[in-house]
Amino acid sequence: MHKEHYTVAIIGAGVVGTAITYALSKYTDLKDILLIEKHGDVAQLNSNSVNNSQTLHSGEIETNYSIEKIKETRKAANMVLNYSRSLPKKLMENIIQPCQKMVLGVGDEEIELLNKHYSPEFKDVFPYVKQISKDEIGKYEPNLLSGRDPDEKLVALFSKEGYMVDYYKLSKSFLNQALESKKTTVDVHFNESLKRLDEAADLYSIKTDKGHYTADFVVCAAGAYSLFFAKSLGYGKNLGILSVGGNFFSSKRVLNGKVYRVEKEGIPFAAVHGDPDITNPKITRFGPTVSVYPYLEKNNRRSMFDYMRSLGIDAKTIVSLEEILSYEGISKIIMRNFGYALPRVGKEEFIKNEVKKIVPSLEAKDIKFDKGVGGIRPQIIDKDKHALVMGGSAITGKNIIFNVTPSPGATSCLSEAMSNIQYLVKSLDIAFDSDGFSKDLIEPTEKSYKSANKD
Ligand SMILES: Cc1cc2nc3c(=O)[nH]c(=O)nc-3n(C[C@H](O)[C@H](O)[C@H](O)COP(=O)(O)OP(=O)(O)OC[C@H]3O[C@@H](n4cnc5c(N)ncnc54)[C@H](O)[C@@H]3O)c2cc1C
């Protein structure tokens, strides 16, 4: 019989929604979960393999992060690593692969930023990250030097302990494991879209385009739409979203690993970088670009009206947008990226301003715009502070959580799952095996990280 009431309903089967479903089914004694996803499969938007940069963000190459954010990111990344390592080898290799990483400083200003970033505290967190000279850079990534002005100064931070992740396959694996749970029944409704959430006595009423359900607790993991639904229930009034779209270009394979560029601390998005593609070893991807769109989802023009409602146009919003967009670091990036999506000129500008800083010998004819690929990073605006929030945000209410997850949200999926469960068990009468969670997903990596990269 069609079930209508659930203890927990989760909206959205991206990497965050599936990670929460997995963690609830494995580490709690919850009896039933309803997972509603408007697409026909998991991870069809930002969490899809080709729509993000596939980086496991551990904090070594993110010069825009503070040391606190670095430590938090590293812990979250380790959870994904530990989860993947617990899988059969073949499956693990499909989901995650080791890949060297570097962050490249070009010229005096960037080198100074990099030197400042490579502080004793940073070295303490990452004993295996080396500062390398121009010659060593050429050893690991020959194409970074070929065609470059010999007088141009270069320094990099380098790690062999990087990883690339297929977040689609990771999501799939989370869901498959959840479906195998013997104690938790997981009902998955694909191709079904949440239309309306209402609070009804001690329950939530969940109306979709296909049915009507109730749940004791709702977890919204619907990307930027989480804020839309939060606002429909009166939550997150002081928040808005700056939708930062990201596109990719690609070339034949010219890099051995990930090459990030120096970005100033406090800027919420990484500068354009070069990455291998876990789904296609023959290419190198360059991106993501940084474009501001009035949409909640990429390639979903109808989400424009919902974007306006999520933003909430009032005096505070206008002042916040004005302050954010006039901040030199952000406005410069947005202006520079503005033309990259234009036919022809876009490619020329992208090569000149971005790609040549990484691989100087590449020309516009060597790269192509990856049509239909990429996503939108829902950067949260704190309207009280008139500023962008670094990273994700969970808005909590009575028996409800709304997860909004810009980068590095895919890396943080299990860490989000943990904090969601910690909040959820306060309201529901269920037990969380936090020792088991910690033993499986937090503890195993600590030793191996410390002993890594000895050479
Ligand atoms: C260009 C780009 C590059 C990035 N690179 C990285 C990276 O290298 N590393 C990293 O860690 N992170 C990266 N990120 C961030 C990362 O992709 C996201 O943080 C992560 O995928 C968010 O997962 P999610 O499950 O919250 O959202 P999503 O993957 O967007 O999933 C939300 C789900 O909710 C569903 N949904 C929405 N509305 C409804 C509704 N009404 N009813 C039912 N279902 C609904 C959607 O269909 C979707 O499946 C990048 C993001 C972008 C855009």
Q: Pull the structure tokens for residue 313.
A: 């146009």
Residues 6+ apart with CB under 8 A from 217: 7, 8, 9, 204, 399, 400, 424, 427, 428
Mutate to test the pocket of ligand 1, among 16, 38, 46 (most ligand atoms within 8 A of CB): 46
Cα 388 to ligand 1 centroid, rounded to whole Å: 18
* Residue 302 pLDDT > 60: yes
* Residue 377 pLDDT > 70: yes
* Residue 454 pLDDT > 80: no
- 369 or 447: which carries more pLDDT confidence? 369
User: Is residue 223 in contact with ligand 1, taking CB distance under 6 Å?
Assistant: yes
* Residue 234 pLDDT > 80: yes
Edge-to-edge strand list for the sheet holding 273-276:
130-132, 154-159, 101-106, 258-261, 273-276, 283-287, 249-252, 368-369
- Exposed e or buried b per residue across 346-364, where buried means at least 16 C-beta atoms within 10 angstroms of its C-beta: bbebbbeebbebbbeebeb
* Residue 453 pLDDT > 60: no
Q: What is the pLDDT of residues 424-436, one digit of tens each?
A: 999 999 999 999 9
Residue 449 is predicted with a pLDDT of 56
Q: What is the pLDDT of residues 117-139, one digit of tens each?
A: 999 999 999 999 999 999 999 99
Q: Pull the structure tokens for residue 114.
A: 């990099």
**CA nearest ligand 1 atom 27, residue:** 223
Least confidently predicted of 99-108, 170-179, 290-299, 324-333? 324-333
At 267, is the pLDDT very low, low, confident or very high (cuts 50, 70, 90)? confident
Find the mean pLDDT for residues 174-187: 98
Cα 320 to ligand 1 centroid, rounded to whole Å: 24
Q: What is the pLDDT of residues 25-39, one digit of tens each?
A: 999 999 999 999 999
Q: What is the pLDDT of residues 135-161, one digit of tens each?
A: 999 999 999 999 999 999 999 999 999
At 388, is the pLDDT very low, low, confident or very high (cuts 50, 70, 90)? confident
Counting from 1 in the atom list of ligand 1, the atom nearest the Cα of 42 is 49
* pLDDT over 70, % of the chain: 98
Residue 341 is predicted with a pLDDT of 80
- 379 or 2: which carries more pLDDT confidence? 379
Counting from 1 in the atom list of ligand 1, the atom nearest the Cα of 409 is 19
Counting from 1 in the atom list of ligand 1, the atom nearest the Cα of 244 is 53
Find the mean pLDDT for residues 362-383: 94
User: Is residue 45 in contact with ligand 1, taking CB distance under 6 Å?
Assistant: yes
* pLDDT over 90, % of the chain: 83
* Residue 297 pLDDT > 80: yes
Find the mean pLDDT for residues 407-432: 95
User: Is residue 54 in contact with ligand 1, taking CB distance under 6 Å?
Assistant: yes
Cα 44 to ligand 1 centroid, rounded to whole Å: 8
Q: Pull the structure tokens for residue 179.
A: 């479906």
User: Is residue 36 in contact with ligand 1, taking CB distance under 6 Å?
Assistant: yes
Q: What is the pLDDT of residues 194-204, one digit of tens each?
A: 999 999 888 99
Counting from 1 in the atom list of ligand 1, the atom nearest the Cα of 208 is 42
* Residue 389 pLDDT > 90: no
Can you tell me the distance from the alpha carbon of 439 to that of 79, in angstroms, rounded to the nearest whole number?
10
User: Is residue 245 in contact with ligand 1, taking CB distance under 6 Å?
Assistant: no
Q: Pull the structure tokens for residue 236.
A: 């997150």
Cα 376 to ligand 1 centroid, rounded to whole Å: 8
* Residue 327 pLDDT > 90: no
Under 8 Å between Cβ of 217 and 11: no
Q: What is the pLDDT of residues 331-348, one digit of tens each?
A: 888 888 888 888 889 999
Mutate to test the pocket of ligand 1, among 47, 58, 279, 289 (most ligand atoms within 8 A of CB): 47
Cα 223 to ligand 1 centroid, rounded to whole Å: 5
At 450, is the pLDDT very low, low, confident or very high (cuts 50, 70, 90)? low
Amino acid at 259: V
User: Is residue 171 in contact with ligand 1, taking CB distance under 6 Å?
Assistant: no
Complete domains list, the chain, with CATH? 5-450 (3.50.50.60)
Cα 98 to ligand 1 centroid, rounded to whole Å: 23
Mutate to test the pocket of ligand 1, among 10, 18, 35, 52 (most ligand atoms within 8 A of CB): 52
Cα 71 to ligand 1 centroid, rounded to whole Å: 23
- 264 or 175: which carries more pLDDT confidence? 175
Residue 264 is predicted with a pLDDT of 81
Half-sphere exposure of 197 (CA within 13 A, CB side): 30
Under 8 Å between Cβ of 260 and 102: yes
User: Is residue 60 in contact with ligand 1, taking CB distance under 6 Å?
Assistant: no
**CA nearest ligand 1 atom 2, residue:** 52
Beta strand 194-200 pairing with 203-208:
antiparallel
User: Is residue 407 in contact with ligand 1, taking CB distance under 6 Å?
Assistant: yes
User: Is residue 52 in contact with ligand 1, taking CB distance under 6 Å?
Assistant: yes
Can you tell me the distance from the alpha carbon of 299 to that of 293, in angstroms, rounded to the nearest whole number?
11
User: Is residue 275 in contact with ligand 1, taking CB distance under 6 Å?
Assistant: no
Residue 135 is predicted with a pLDDT of 96
Cα 385 to ligand 1 centroid, rounded to whole Å: 25
Cα 246 to ligand 1 centroid, rounded to whole Å: 12
